[in-house]
Amino acid sequence: MTDASTLEPLSFSLNGRPVTVDVDPRETLFDTLRERLRQTGTKGACLEGECGSCTVLLDGEPVTSCLVMALQVAGREVVTIEGIAESSQLSALQAAFVRAGAVQCGYCTPGLIVSATALLKKNPRPSEDEVRRGLAGNLCRCTGYNKIVDAVLDASREGEELSETGTAGARA
Amino acid sequence: MSGAQQHNIGRSVVRPDVRDKVTGATRFGGDLCGPEVLSASVVRAAHAHAKVIRVDFSKAKAIDGVIAVLGRDDIKGTNRHGLIKRDHPVFCDERVRYRGDAIAVVIATTPEAAKLGRDAVEVEYEALPVIATMADAQADGAERIHEFGNVLATQLIRKGDAAKALGESDVVVTRTFAMGGVDHAFLDLEAGYAEMDGDVVTIHASGQWVHEERRLIALALGLPVERVRIVQPPTGGAFGGREDISIQIYLGLAALTLGKPVRMQYTREESMVARHKRHPMEIEYTLGATRDGTLTAAKVIIRSDEGAYASTGPAVLRKAVSHCTGPYRVPHVEADGVALFTNNCPTGAMRGFGACQLAIAYEGAVLAVARELGMDVVELKKKNLVRDGDSITTGQVIPVASAIDCLDAALDRFHWNARRKDHPAPHLRRGYGVSTICFGLGYGDGYPDASRARVRFAEDNVLEVYSGGVDVGQGLHSLLAQIAGEEFGIDASRVRVIASDTALTPESGSSSATRQTLFSGNAVKLAAGEVHRQVMDAAAVMLGLHWEDLAIKGDRIVGIHHENVATPLAFVLSGARARGFTLDSTAVYKPRTVAPTDQSGRSPRAFLTYMFGSHAAEVIVDIETGEVRVERIVAAHDVGKAINPREVEGQIEGGVAQGLGMALMEEVVTRQGRILNASFTDYIIPTILDVPRIEAVIVERADLEGPHGARGVGEPPLIGAVPAILAAISDAIGHPVEQTPATAERVWKIIHQDNAEHLT
Ligand code: FES
Ligand code: FES
């Protein structure tokens, strides 16, 4: 990207693993992830904070990585779509996206899954309205959003069932 | 799979591509890379209309990291591309005609250096008058954008005597409609990768018709088609926006000239400035009726802003004219369309082209007639909608005309008769609208339209489908697996699809015109049927029975009358191969349509088949601000047979959302040939907060042509949504709404145009 001389080392946690990479102080986290670390699951449809397709978690908070400077994440925890699946298993939310037909072209999907993961973490039983407000920063051009809302609600209900079984099991 | 027979058709199977899409593993065009890959960036015109006096690459070439600057002198073939007329220069020669016109492409070691190089290319222009509007294009003495003038095409329909019939009608309304340009706004920006594989230029980039793109690229590069290979990566939406050539020739030229891998990606701004748009149109619509509400005649005048190059313009204009009265019986019709060049961004294919602009006009005119007659619009519709065996304006008889079925289905689900009439607040007005539309599938009009498909059992006994048809996110490949598997009772998930690679797959036409389910679906069904016969033939030889006495059941071939005969299918496949039997077939589906006559513009079979749809919408309008909220939309479409119902719903929901965008917010704003809102900050598409819950209603009256009775579904959901929403706004505010998008500002102006007497 630029002369090696102008690069600065950056260390942070990426999907639970420590990484150190030389970056241009002017580059965004989005570029670092995709261009330097070749983690291409994070997408970019606008690069100006409008579409949400580049969403990643920074210390657990969803951020649009195209607006975050790489050096801002020094020492912090970044989780991308590549870090959402639990080992080779899909997360409950990912599985719900598959089941619901919430994916057409799939370009918006990584950003939506990351945003919705953060949403469910904060609010495990969201109403439809809360789901919509929580995902208002993520554009999708294909689906009309119906099935995306369904998938998130479905995953939240599943979380409920799981925790209920968990409690019941503990009681027994 | 257990021994039970699997049925694929009508089952919401999970698409095989989806798993990688939820984990981020899918690699779209912009995700492709390789060692020592070069980057490319395109120099665009600085004027909307100008003579090019001098181009100088020397400063650009001197920039650190710049490897080459390629322009028109480096084009060894034809310096033109274009789907219908080859009029779009790869690199401009003597003249630029819009601000997306390309001058050169800069290749460098990094994307940053490529951009610096791009900005360092010097071009000297002599400005020409900008033809900014259709009126400019038609003005006396207007500057000619192309040598032959500013008219790209004209189209007409003559049926009966419209002038006389209008003169004799009890009521006649004349309304003027205008639709703004719309951007496809697919999220996956134009991006790709090219490299040399021996002497073959291999281009990984997303289009909508790999074989036609290969032909155009080969023509430009001056290569035989065998030396160009297109491999389509997973594609993040298209909606017509990938029909024209975008990055492919630049990539191919760079890889070919430099012998090195190259990649490139547009920014959102470049994508919006360079790529064609939906046609802005102006339509003057005169519609007559008798006192009892029988439509008598229509006179329709259409002007279509073509922008700088033809693209699919002639087909769009023809589609507009042939759909000018939609699903209505109108005995006398006179329609005239003209497509005019301007120095705006070229306009071309977008979901529902031509038909969607006209649906706004005919539905608006029908609403105006209903108002004039004081008649309920649903009643007026039912009186005039085509029924089975009626013909529409082109003269084509429609055997399955399900407009009324769709209308009833939509109104039923909506509980139309129980709709609330109250307003939520004094400044919030509730309104309802309903639309009925029709749409001809495939290219039609006598254009040779065909899909080819190959089906075979591979050496590992897996059923394979080979199709050139591209999946742009709509799920085509999964659908083809369902259709192929169905012939053998093999679950779709066990069918392997090899697709959209010109080196491996047959030509299957474009993913456009709502044609792939119908065309490639039929081609796959034909080929799979033949392979089924090949398998049964081999089984019969091996088992010593007649093939008609055998059937595939689960994983086995069994005797119909001989209960003790049961052999694993895999055993038969291996045995067949050992005996030299073929388990491989390629089929062509190529039905005939008929070109319209020059005099009447009519045709007994303009399209292979038509599909119908009806939407009901509820909106709330804030009369103080003009803001519109869509509260609810029911969308009913007769898809013939939903091969994958969940995916059909997805297409309907997505189409409705795009229709909502076109109806309320999306407009490419252009001044003097410059797009003023070429970003997602300024060009607004619907968010999850704008789109209400969409209720998709699947109507299934089997099609006579389609595989398993299926028609397709891609475009009609968008077409139906726009007029339903406009009618609902009009109901809420008591004034017609005849311009898209109906932005808050425009709606406010309509409300306040005459002191809002209707609102008191
Ligand atoms: S790419 Fe970051 S918000 Fe669009
Ligand atoms: S599925 Fe295509 S953008 Fe959302």
Which residue shows structure tokens 């496809």?
B184
Residue from A141, A145, A147, A149 to probe ligand 2 pocket by mutation (most atoms less than 8 Å from CB): A141
Partners of residue A45 in chain B, C-beta under 8 Å = 187-189, 236, 268, 680
Section A56-80 average pLDDT: 98
B269 at the A interface (CB within 8 A)? no
pLDDT confidence of residue A85: 87
B230-279 pLDDT, tens per residue?
999 999 999 999 999 999 999 999 999 999 999 999 999 999 999 999 99
Tell me the mean pLDDT in the region B717-722. Answer: 98
CA angle B17, B20, B23 (to 5 degrees): 150
pTM above 0.80, yes or no: yes
Output the domain CATH number for residue B615.
3.30.365.10
- Find out whether the beta carbon of A145 lies less than 6 Å from any atom of ligand 2: no
Helix (H) / strand (E) element for B615: namely: strand B610-622
Predicted confidence (pLDDT) at residue B174 exceeds the cutoff of 90 = yes
Exposed/middle/buried for residue A125 (C-beta within 10 Å: 0-12, 13-18, 19+): exposed
Residues B529 and B641 in one domain: no
CATH superfamily for domain A4-83? Beta-grasp domain (3.10.20.30)
Q: Does pLDDT of B550 surpass 70?
A: yes
CA distance B412 to chain A (A): 21
- Complex confidence, ipTM: 0.97
Do B312 and B432 fall within a single domain? yes
Smallest CA-to-CA distance from B612 within B713, B500, B544 is with B713
Q: Residues enclosing ligand 1, CB less than 6 A?
A: A 44-47, 49-54, 64, 66
Beta bridge partners of A75: none
In B639-757, beta strands by DSSP E: 670-671, 674-675, 694-699, 739-740
Superfamily of domain A92-165: [2Fe-2S]-binding domain (1.10.150.120)
According to the model, what pLDDT value does residue A158 have? Answer: 82
The verdict on B267 touching A (C-beta cutoff 8 Å) is yes
Question: B373 and B490 share a domain?
Answer: no
B398 and B374 assigned to the same domain: yes
Per-residue burial over A23-53, b if 16 or more Cβ lie within 10 Å, else e, is bbeebbbbbbbbbbbebbbbbbbbbbbbbbb
User: Mean pLDDT of all residues in chain A?
Assistant: 92
The CA distance from A99 to the nearest CA of chain B, in Å, is 7
pLDDT attached to residue B7: 86
Is residue A132 within 8 angstroms of chain B, CB to CB?
Answer: yes
Contacts of A147 in chain B (CB under 8 A): 646, 649-650, 653
| Closest residue by Cα to residue B236 from A83, A144, A45, A94 | A45
d(CA B75, CA B218): 11
pLDDT of B141 above 50: yes
CA neighbor of B265 nearest in space, from A17, A88, A45:
A45
8 Å CB contact of B688 and A105: no
Task: Clarify whether residues B419 and B540 are in a common domain.
Answer: no
Q: Please state the φ and ψ torsions of residue A167, each to the nearest 5 degrees.
A: -65, -45
Residue where one domain finishes, among candidates B567, B589, B611: B589
Instruction: Give the closest residue to B608 by CA, choosing from B510, B518, B483, B719.
Output: B518
Give the residue from B224, B250, B274 where a domain finishes: B274
Are B301 and B374 contained in the same domain? yes
Q: Compute the distance between CA of residue A89 and CA of residue B131 in angstroms, rounded to an integer.
A: 58
pLDDT in tens, B452-509: 999 999 999 999 999 999 999 999 999 999 999 999 999 999 999 999 999 999 999 9
* Domain count for chain B: 3
**Alpha-carbon span B4 to B22, nearest angstrom:** 31
Q: Which of A30-34, B33-37, B195-199, B302-306 has the lowest mean pLDDT?
A: B33-37
Q: Which residues 443-482 in chain B show a CB within 8 A of chain A?
A: 472-475
Note the pLDDT of residue B674: 98
**Chain A interface test: which of B688, B691, B725 (most A C-beta within 10 Å):** B688
Average pLDDT over residues B174-192: 98
Burial of B571 (0-12, 13-18, 19+ CB in 10 A): middle
Using the structure block, give the residue that is written with the tokens 């005019």: B340
Tell me the C-alpha distance between B278 and B311, whole Å.
Answer: 11
Verify whether the Cβ–Cβ distance B654 to A149 is below 8 Å. no
Q: How many CB atoms lie within 10 A of CB B5?
A: 12
Report how many Cβ contacts below 8 Å link chain A to chain B: 165
| Tokens read off for B498 | 């090899």
- The alpha-carbon gap from B187 to the nearest alpha carbon of chain A, in Å, equals 5
Give the structural domain span for B535. 18-26+450-589
Beta strands in chain A (DSSP E): 8-14, 17-23, 55-58, 61-64, 77-79
CA distance B677 to chain A (A): 13
Residue type, B405: D
Q: Edge-to-edge strand order for the sheet containing B50-56?
A: B95-96, B50-56, B122-127
Domain ranges of chain A: 4-83, 92-165
Q: Which amino acid is at B624?
A: E
Tokens standing for B254? 């760079």
**Largest alpha-carbon pair distance within chain A?**
64
Q: How far is the CA of B411 from the centre of ligand 1 (A)?
A: 40
Same domain for B488 and B349: no
Q: Contact A42/B671 with Cβ under 8 angstroms?
A: no
pLDDT attached to residue A169: 34
Mutational test site, ligand 1, from A42, A64, A81, max ligand atoms within 8 Å of CB: A64
Same domain, B419 and B567: no
Percent of chain B with pLDDT over 70: 98
> Ligand 2 in contact with A106 (CB < 6 A)?
yes
B309 and B353 share a domain? yes
Query: What distance, in Å, lies between the first and last C-alpha atoms of chain B?
Result: 67
Contact across the interface for A145 and B688, Cβ inside 8 Å: yes
Distance of CA B679 to the CA centre of its chain: 22
- Helical axes B355-373 vs B377-384, angle rounded to 10°: 120
Residues 6+ apart with CB under 8 A from B257: B68, B70, B74
**Cβ–Cβ gap A143/B654 under 8 Å:** yes
Question: Taking residues B195-204, what's their average pLDDT?
Answer: 98
**Cα dihedral B155/B160/B164/B165 (nearest 10):** -110
Q: Among A66, A80, A81, A135, name the best residue to mutate to test ligand 1's pocket (greatest count of ligand atoms within 8 A of Cβ).
A: A66
> Residue B681 C-alpha to ligand 1 middle, in angstroms?
11
Tell me: do B333 and B398 sit in the same domain.
yes
Written as six digits, the tokens of B621 are 């309008």
Closest chain B residue to the Cα of A36, Cα to Cα: B33
Q: In this structure, how many other beta carbons lie within 10 angstroms of the beta carbon of residue B23?
A: 20
Could B24 and A108 be called an inter-chain contact, meaning their C-beta atoms sit closer than 8 Å?
A: no
Quick one: which of B233, B249, B251 has its CA closest to B38? B251
Whether the link from the prior residue into B741 is cis, omega within 30° of 0, is: yes
Task: Please check whether residues B260 and B312 belong to one and the same domain.
Answer: no
Residue B385 lies in a domain: yes
Domain end (from B224, B251, B274): B274
Is B180 domain-assigned? no
Alpha carbons within 13 A on the beta-carbon side of B249:
34
Average pLDDT over residues B587-594: 97
Q: Is A108 in the pocket of ligand 2 (CB under 6 A)?
A: yes
Tell me how far apart the alpha carbons of residues B747 and B194 are, in angstroms, rounded to a whole number. 48
Q: Is residue B156 one of the residues assigned to a domain?
A: no
Do residues B265 and B408 share a domain? no
